[in-house]
Amino acid sequence: MKKIITAAIIAGMCVTGFGISKVSADTTTPVRGTISVSTNANAEVLPDTVEITLAIKTKDAKSLQKAAEENKQISDKVYSTLKAMINSQNGDYIKTANYSARPVYVYGTNNKKSLDKYEVSNSIIVHTKNIDKTGTMIDKAISLGATDVNDLRFSVSNYEKQCNELLTVASQKAKTRVDVAAKASGTYITGVKSMNISCSENTANRVQYRYMAKNVMSAGASADSLEVQEAATPIQSGIIRIYANLSAEYFIK
């Protein structure tokens, strides 16, 4: 009698184990085929906005206050003159990028530190769509006492719109290519598994425009003499190339 009961228990365990295995197999998700593609689209556009970074630097051997007062006088003239040359209603503006006032030290023998001068620097950014006046603005700022042109950047104000249009083109190209490949393989698209998109611009031609005022004014020239020049400093904005990139993976059946 004991042998019969033991055999029944073992048989029951075997049946139970088989049932679990069968349920697990039925719930396994079938593998779906996929096809991947990468496409891009690009366009050349003319920039319509420029940012000019200017600096006014002043110094005094004995007084930080004197250096600051001189800097304020020059900055006020530069600000007011450039403000009259831009259109704030069109999104143009002028802002302070950085301001510093500090003593400058030199180190002599035995690493002894001594005061050399006091220096004040006011860096401003001019953001404007009047890009045809870029050279004139630079010349005028320098004639009023600006000492550095640190940067010059051209851009496209409707960058997002351009990006979206190019992504539409890249997406259509991707769908067409996948349709062709799937049809040739005897399958068809059933959905999108994943998609990665991005936009960028070519900055290789971005202008890096740097000089100091002393490099454009001769030793005997006055600030007013710059105003009688026949033409402003020539500045070419060039073109900007915008890229849209798309990588996608589609389900096929």
**Is residue 232 a contact partner of residue 52, using CB atoms and an 8 Å limit?**
no
Q: Residue 20: which pLDDT band, with cuts at 50, 70 and 90?
A: very low
One-letter amino acid for residue 134 of the chain: T
Q: How many residues does the chain have?
A: 253
State the Cα torsion 196-199-205-210 to the nearest 10°.
-110
Percentage of residues of the chain with pLDDT beyond 90: 69
* Predicted confidence (pLDDT) per residue in 109-158, tens digit: 888 889 999 999 999 999 999 999 999 999 999 999 999 999 999 999 99
95, HSE (Cβ side, Cα atoms, 13 Å):
8
Residue bearing tokens 């073992």 = 10
Q: Residue 237: which pLDDT band, with cuts at 50, 70 and 90?
A: confident
* Predicted confidence (pLDDT) per residue in 192-203, tens digit: 999 999 999 986
* Predicted confidence (pLDDT) per residue in 208-223, tens digit: 444 444 444 333 344 4
Question: What's the pTM?
Answer: 0.70
Percentage of residues of the chain with pLDDT beyond 70: 77
Q: What are phi and psi of 185, to 5 degrees?
A: -95, 5
